A and B are shown apart, each in its own frame.
Chain A
């Protein structure tokens, strides 16, 4: 095996992992606070990608410039969705939340299918095909930007969760709701904020993906299965686990693609998933 090829595969794997990070972090955050798998995660990502797509095509807003807008819009969408639908109709039962998010994803996807058909769309921006040399690898600029921006945004979110009162309240509510109510934390609001933040991550992820990826009504599936594996691998609800897990899964996908052939890249991910469930079902970063 040529060291250069291996090195390039490693770099590509890390970049790929970076593009999963925001999706996985959003999923793990929602799980950590609400104790549910957000089945609508993939379709919300799809929605955000169409958002970024149309902002570029119709309003000529560059995807990177659209990040603040999409983050705000997706936060609002998540917040309202929680307040108006999930929180209202779940009656505090986790299995109801599960069904609502599942139903939501089916509705969103079919609405998207109705409007956009099954076709996938790609965008071209001036920097779409620009390549940068990164050690032994020649990588598309958008992938490098996506990697760096994802990590920066994850770090910003980690800071927010660790250092602000709202962040503390989010962590408090995750583990001790009664205690939280007694210090005056509005638990339902924190649920909605957490769901909103988890969805806002998808707004950023979508903007970072769109210059180098396609969008279609089913694009979310691709990411959500991987993101779910990452969240299980890192430990359900663990922020750092989701981050490290993303990089591990990106590497796995890239390396198994290298050794087993492009088409089989995802097999490595399934293998890791099975191994984790067998040997450490609580994930690597669980206590």
Chain B
């Protein structure tokens, strides 16, 4: 459903991604791994229309979305839960979730609110509270909940486990499995290579702005080269 071909992207004069090919098929969990500053979030910003690519193509569900505005990309159901949560601090939990369906999923807002609060009962307890007063983990739940309110066809999760306690990290990976079990396609951006490769069907390893390795996650997890470089094993 997502086809990225020869994507070149960056900021101003500086090119960060030098031609990337990435695919996500319907129903897959695809992990994108790479060290800090390699350009993972840059990839996301281009997928979501926050940045305009320097070159290459991005197709989502048959539509060319390279350089399209973010609202149109949301309309198509490509939804990103960004690094650092980016919840609306001055809005209540409820309002944050409601704005998740600002463009997409508006008709089913009430039903989806019910669904999201069943997935994250903690959010229900904090429903009227300002998002700024939530803990980091709760904010991450809220950011994902807000993403789910948009009825995503493909959900991008940018480092969803960043700053979470080990227990919450495990819960996050469980949740990814559950959402995928319900048929949701997920593009998972992570630093946590071990668990990501367990959760994913396929994975891409990014180095120096290009895809250095890719393949079935299980295969990559077993590759001695990768184990040495990323897993420290």
- Which residues from chain A sit less than 8 Å from chain B, CB to CB? 165, 168-169, 171-172, 174-176, 178-186
Contacts and interface: CB of A to CB of B under 8 A. Distances in A.
A184 B104 contact: yes
Interface of B: 48-50, 69-71, 73-75, 79-80, 82, 85-91, 95, 98-100, 102-104, 146, 150
Given A165-B99, A184-B103, 5 more contacts: A168-B91, A171-B91, A185-B71, A186-B69, A186-B71
A181 B98 contact: no
Contacts of B73: 184
A183 B69 contact: no
Contacts of A165: 98-99, 102
27 contacts: A165-B99, A165-B102, A168-B91, A168-B98, A168-B102, A169-B99, A171-B90, A172-B91, A176-B87, A179-B82, A179-B86, A179-B87, A179-B88, A180-B88, A180-B99, A182-B50, A182-B74, A182-B79, A182-B86, A183-B102, A183-B146, A184-B71, A184-B73, A184-B74, A184-B102, A185-B71, A185-B99
A174 B90 contact: yes
Contacts of A185: 71, 99, 102-103
B98 to A, nearest CB: 7
Nearest to B143: A179
Contacts of A175: 88-90
A97 B88 CA distance: 24
Contacts of A183: 74, 99-100, 102-103, 146, 150
A174 B88 CA distance: 9
A199 B136 CA distance: 38
Nearest to B156: A182
Contact of B50 (A169, A176, A181): A181
B70 A176 contact: no
A176 B102 contact: no
Contacts of A178: 50, 82, 86
A176 B102 CA distance: 15
Nearest to A162: B95
Most A C-beta atoms less than 10 A away, residue of B75, B85, B88, B90: B88
Given A183-B146, A183-B150, A172 B88 contact: yes
Nearest to A187: B70
Contacts of A180: 88, 99
